[in-house]
């Protein structure tokens, strides 16, 4: 006896294609929402650095990390012993230094113990140095001594590394002038940082590549 094997009807195929399309659309929309959340989180990191500095200044009349009387001001705090001198109105040391003794390293302990930020206050804690939503280091220093990016001006600079190009462009549009080579927010390609390096333009940024973003204020 002959058996006839039934195939899918056009309606069934159409339904399957519609379902696949909906699933793909959901995945893409979900990724878009994740990227948007990451960009907002990194933007908040950059803005918060200003809040920490100005809040600490208003409370103690000193800079976090550079406070010469920090031991008196805050119980359990540590006085910076390198990249000073302390009390000279500058946050000394590179933004990404992790020696536990520099002013820029102790910046985080001081703002946390003062109640402006959350996080570990012991410098030897593996989670002491903050990281952004893309798992890159975040740090602050005075503009004096910061010669990484040519042409940046201001009193302080906050930098955040390992940020995907797609997010870098979105952050600059939301926070600055939309050009990552000008304005108060600028970007460098990973591994290109050196003395007096020109920031990279938005047009040359590759969405999937990592970048370091610095904002002056």
Contact 184, 208 (CB under 8 A): no
Which strand (E) or helix (H) includes residue 36? helix 10-60
pLDDT tens, residue order, the chain (217 aa): 555 555 667 776 677 777 776 666 666 556 677 788 899 999 999 999 999 999 999 999 999 999 999 999 999 999 999 999 999 999 999 999 999 999 999 999 999 999 999 999 999 999 999 999 999 999 999 999 998 999 999 999 999 999 999 999 999 999 999 999 999 999 999 876 567 799 999 999 999 999 999 999 9
Query: What pLDDT does 19 receive?
Result: 73
Query: What pLDDT does 43 receive?
Result: 97
Q: How far apart, in Å, do the first and last CA atoms of the chain sit? A: 85
Joined together, the tokens standing for residue 38 give: 């990451």
Query: What pLDDT does 2 receive?
Result: 53
Query: What pLDDT does 6 receive?
Result: 59
Q: Which residue has the tokens 């990484």?
A: 148
Contact 161, 137 (CB under 8 A): yes
Query: What pLDDT does 30 receive?
Result: 63
Determine how many CB atoms are found less than 10 A away from the CB of residue 67.
Answer: 26
Architecture of the domain defined by 13-216:
2-Layer Sandwich (3.30)
pTM, two decimals, is: 0.84
Beta strands of the chain (E only): which ranges? 138-142, 156-164, 185-189, 210-216
Query: What pLDDT does 34 receive?
Result: 75
Tell me how many degrees the CA angle 154-40-145 measures, rounded to the nearest 5. 25
Q: Residue 205 CA to chain centroid, in angstroms?
A: 17
């Amino acid at each position: 006896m002959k058996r006839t094997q039934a195939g899918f009807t056009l309606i069934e195929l159409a339904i399957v294609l519609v379902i696949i399309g909906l699933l793909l659309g959901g995945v893409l929309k979900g990724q878009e929402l994740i990227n948007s959340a990451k960009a907002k989180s990194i933007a908040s990191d950059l803005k918060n650095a200003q809040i920490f500095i100005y809040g600490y200044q208003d409370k103690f009349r000193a800079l976090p990390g550079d406070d010469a009387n920090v031991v008196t001001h805050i119980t359990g705090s540590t006085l910076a012993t390198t990249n000073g001198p302390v009390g000279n109105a500058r946050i000394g040391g590179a933004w990404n230094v992790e020696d536990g003794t520099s002013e820029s390293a102790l910046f985080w302990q001081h703002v946390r113990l003062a109640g402006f930020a959350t996080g570990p206050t012991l410098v030897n804690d593996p989670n002491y140095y903050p990281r952004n939503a893309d798992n890159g280091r975040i740090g602050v220093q005075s503009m004096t001594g910061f010669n990484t990016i040519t042409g940046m001006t201001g009193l302080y600079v906050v930098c955040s590394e390992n940020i995907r190009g797609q997010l870098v462009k979105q952050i600059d549009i939301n926070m600055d002038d939309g050009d990552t080579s000008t304005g108060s927010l600028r970007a460098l390609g990973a591994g290109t940082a050196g003395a007096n390096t020109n920031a990279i333009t938005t047009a040359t940024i590759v969405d999937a590549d990592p970048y370091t973003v610095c904002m002056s204020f």
